[in-house]
Structure 1
Amino acid sequence: MHNTTRDVSRSTTAQSHSLLDDIVGITASSLLAAIGIFLMDSGHVVTGGIAGLALLISYATPFSFSVVWIVASLPFLPLAVWKKGWNFTLRSLVAIVMVSLFAQLTTAKLGHLSIDPLFGAVAGNVVASIGVLGLFRHRSSLGGFNVVALIAQEQYHWRAGYVQLVIDLAIVAGAFFVASPVIVLYSAVGAFVFNFILALNHREGRYNG
């Protein structure tokens, strides 16, 4: 008996997402990002990016996360238009608004929970990173420093996750003003988890959808 080997040709032609793909993908990814932020908030930890900045400000002021999130995201939109174009910018704006709405909805439906800070930091960042990956793959983002990281990857070939990590650690360091050193440590662990997942999964040539 002889074993026969067959060469199977595989098509490598990427297919663009349909409008329905994008609607479902951006909506689901925004919900995941909001749930991740909710878990972090419930553990009273922070993360990096505009989300982390918004959480920090919401802890230190009477302003809600959703309000600070949208206001802090707006200054980065002109950069997104300039470097990434209107299509990407409008998709990101939709995602920003949806995350804000989903964050309010999640809090309204689940209430204010108090969970272990380390669990909130790790689980929250895992869930949020999957949401952000989904947005990236549908030509969108959460705006803010996501835009900076994506531009750095496209123009200088620096992995977006590593660029975001440097920015995020600087933001997490700001938590020293509103939280204990242990919470800051947990927040740094969470930020590392978030960006490690991002760097591992979002790289040039990895996804062509």
Structure 2
Amino acid sequence: MCAGTLFVAMALVLFGQAGLLTGGTAGAAFLLHYATGIGLGQGFFLLNLPFYGFAWKQMGGEFTVKTFAAVLLLSVLTELAPRFVSIQALHPAFAAIFGGLMLGTGCLFLARHRASLGGATVISLYLQERRGWRAGKVQLAIDCTVLLAALFVVEPSRVGWSILGAGVMGGFLWINHRPGRYVGS
């Protein structure tokens, strides 16, 4: 879980330094950060708070505790990382592609250990389990909504690069994630 969260944190650092964002709750935290200046980690932690009670009731205690731990760790890492990592030259295309791969890898690590990064993933998994809606499609709808909202906050070219990053992440997960395969404890 720590490795997965570290991969996601590094991806978010790349996205942040390139002025990009992603979908889901992390994307909403980027929007909050870009619009208000609140720290990315702080915003991410706050946006996830309403989902823990729901996750506990619908997804169980183990999933919720692991998710809370991952969200807390990611929030701390994204606040601290800029003090330790600074990239002097970063093209948005590289940030989108490499960041998307790192996001996908980190999320895959977390999924294999029955954890998530909260918010949108909790809703997606719940709707898949209870309503039969494909989690990937629900997540895609949420991601698209966040990225469309970004057009009001971030310049369109940055939104375009962000869409590339989300597509890379989604494609990576589509190819590599098979529920029930390589599940850890």
Q: TM-score, normalised by structure 2?
A: 0.91
What letter is aligned with 2:23? G
- Equivalent-residue separation in structure 1 for 2:112 and 2:63 (angstroms): 11
Shift of 1:157: 4.2
Percent identical among aligned pairs is 37
Choose the corresponding residue for 1:117, options 92, 105, 110.
Answer: 92
Secondary structure of the corresponding residue to residue 116 of structure 2: coil
What letter is aligned with 2:40? F
Secondary structure of the corresponding residue to residue 14 of structure 2: helix
- Equivalent-residue separation in structure 1 for 2:33 and 2:132 (angstroms): 34
Counterparts of 1:22-33 in structure 2, within 5 Å, are: 26-33=1-8
- Equivalent-residue separation in structure 1 for 2:73 and 2:49 (angstroms): 14
Q: Is the 8 A contact 1:41 1:120 kept in 2?
A: no
Counterparts of 1:98-109 in structure 2, within 5 Å, are: 98-109=73-84
Q: Is the 8 A contact 2:125 2:135 kept in 1?
A: yes
Q: How many residues align?
A: 184
Choose the corresponding residue for 2:43, options 60, 64, 68.
Answer: 68
Q: CA 1:48–1:65 in structure 2 vs 1: closer, same or farther (change >3 Å)?
A: same
Q: Which deviates more from structure 2 when the two are superposed, residues 128-137 or residues 178-187?
A: 178-187
Name the residue aligned to 2:105: 130
Name the residue aligned to 1:6: none
Secondary structure of the corresponding residue to residue 179 of structure 2: coil
Counterparts of 1:6-17 in structure 2, within 5 Å, are: none
Secondary structure of the corresponding residue to residue 54 of structure 2: helix
Q: CA 1:200–1:180 in structure 2 vs 1: closer, same or farther (change >3 Å)?
A: same
Q: CA 1:195–1:159 in structure 2 vs 1: closer, same or farther (change >3 Å)?
A: farther
Q: Which one has a bigger Cα radius of gyration?
A: 1
Name the residue aligned to 1:166: 141
Shift of 1:78: 1.4
Q: CA 1:155–1:102 in structure 2 vs 1: closer, same or farther (change >3 Å)?
A: same
Shift of 1:113: 4.6
Name the residue aligned to 1:36: 11
Q: Which deviates more from structure 2 when the two are superposed, residues 157-166 or residues 145-154?
A: 157-166
Q: Which deviates more from structure 2 when the two are superposed, residues 105-114 or residues 187-196?
A: 105-114
- Equivalent-residue separation in structure 2 for 1:97 and 1:82 (angstroms): 20
Q: Which deviates more from structure 2 when the two are superposed, residues 61-70 or residues 199-208?
A: 199-208
Q: Is the 8 A contact 1:165 1:191 kept in 2?
A: no
Q: Which has the higher helix share?
A: 2
- Equivalent-residue separation in structure 2 for 1:157 and 1:93 (angstroms): 25
Shift of 1:208: 4.2
Q: Is the 8 A contact 1:150 1:160 kept in 2?
A: yes
1:102-144 C-alpha deviation (Å, 9 max, x unpaired) = 1123211113655211221221121011111111111111001
Shift of 1:205: 4.1
- In the alignment, structure 1 segments of 5+ residues that lack a partner are 1-25
Shift of 1:87: 0.9
1:52-76 C-alpha deviation (Å, 9 max, x unpaired) = 1101110111211011010001111
